[in-house]
Chains A and B, each alone.
Chain A
Amino acid sequence: MSKAVLDVKDLSVRFRTREGVVTAVNNISFSVGAGEVLGLVGESGSGKSVTGLAVLGLIDPPGEVSANSSIKVNGRELVGLPEEPLRKIRGKDVAMIFQDPMTTLNPVLRIDTQMIEAIRAHEKISEKAARERARQALEKVGIPSADERLKAYPGQFSGGMRQRVAIATALLNRPTVLVADEPTTALDVTIQAQILSEVQDLCAETGTALVWITHDLSVVAGLADRVAVMYAGRIVEEGPVTAVLEAPIHPYAAGLIGSVPSRNKRGEPLAQIRGMTPSLVNLPPGCPFAPRCDYATEICQTTMPEATPYEGERAARCHHPLSSPTPAAA
């Protein structure tokens, strides 16, 4: 693994709600090297999107990033930074694209306005030069007659095209890290595949580290170098993508992999993980997955398993690891 450009340590994000304190992200750590792709996988409500927003410093009250968290981009600490320096980092060093391309572009502003402002928020550069860069960026994501399309409004683009515009916009300033929050979920499968490979190419070209948030394991399989599986605000398993997918350690990861519909199991009922994700308000002391786990024993109800490193740059939090992996030498 190359040197980490994004290094997250002990990140916790809490939301104070009327029902109580919700710990949406609980003490997670991960790092991504330049040009590397990390797949952040989990069900709805597992905290993966909040993690993405936290990396950009976009957690708004009532949410708060706990003070002992650390998010370092290129070695620079983001947690606790005031708004103005944070703003300078957003869109410049760390960029983000979102799930629904139909709503991420402002419907009443032209594409050129929205792209040029993204450049000029960070650089003193003439309108003309910025426009030229925006045009090139559009061409790079495969938008034909970019000159003309710059003058269009978002409403004149299809969903896939809008997501391309968003991607082009996010990559305008050659960010060190790109956080992609399920950007292909709202698109149909053929467009999904195109966009995936385009983002992959663009990031490889510029050496941008990519954090790809998704609930779709098949996307991760084809795209990511490493994968982190989140459950109830924690990373329960992390490791190189092939190793994790072939021999998961955590029963939840195994369940997720088992739930992917496959051609080989035609005619059988689809596998699923029984039960529901737990409410994040006042989680019980033990492993949050215990109530849904086939392997759970008494210790799982009472004690949260520690993150245990395993051989092959892997880690998992489980009292009853599957596929008998070798613990890494301490």
Chain B
Amino acid sequence: MAFTTMRAGLAVAATLMATTALAQDYPDRSITMVVPFAAGGPTDTVARLVAERMSADLGQQIIVENVGGAGGTLGAGQVAAAEADGYTVLLHHIGMATSATLYRNLAYSPADGFAPVGLVTEVPMTIVARKDLEPADFPALMAYVKENADTITMANAGIGAASHLCGMLFMQAVDAPIVTVPYKGTGPAMTELIGGQIDLMCDQTTNTTEQIKGGTIKGYAVTTPARLDIFPDMPTVAEGGFPGLEVSVWHGLYAPAGTPPEAVDRLATALQAALADPGIATKLAELGTAPSPAADATPAALKAKLDGEIARWKPIIEAAGVYAD
């Protein structure tokens, strides 16, 4: 008994010592940033942009590791189970919040398994259609879709993808069952939209901006509260009378739960420094997005965002009755 207590005491003391030592020197070796998606994808791009500048601020290399699979839950699970020492972090998008409902038997808790570091960026989405779809503007489109619900087809990039989430909101907004067609990723879906094989899609500006500008597809509305600089003529969904369609693909940086607060704060400072870099802002602007302001790149802001989004998506996903497991 006494022995166990003593051992426990020793363990606590050791942890405390480790924590203080860590807090002073952190970071004293390279940090692994896990991206739970394949290299070259939009989330990977955001991660690599940010990681490079954060390295400069932290004085330690950040190695981006792609652990793709199972809609991002494999990589996230790996970070949740990693040592909470601040040397393993996760850059994940909105899927962190939706996975809490989409996956019913996760080995970790998206809400409690992580120590949020900060919001990185929010990518707006656009509602787009094949270029010869009849309706002239967004309200006309919504009426048209409702009327022709049995012939309209809507693409998405697979269950849990941003385009799928936005599609669920869209169906809720038109209040009619439309036939959805999943694709393996945004690329094939976009190809068939350009080819006119399908009618509609809702996707991130990262993928749609250049196509809309090039006239290969038709842009109807943006899902942000305000119009975007890149598309001054495109109305917001709220302007069209559908504020419930507002959605963005937000990216957040996380450490495993139990990471010393000093390390989390240091990471947040580095993140804010990276996001303040004009070079990053320029590159993100070309993707139709902007770095999160310093006030949002904080643990508290990300925590609030995450909890809010988990609560928002739970009833939507349950109503759609689609699960990814």
A and B bound? no
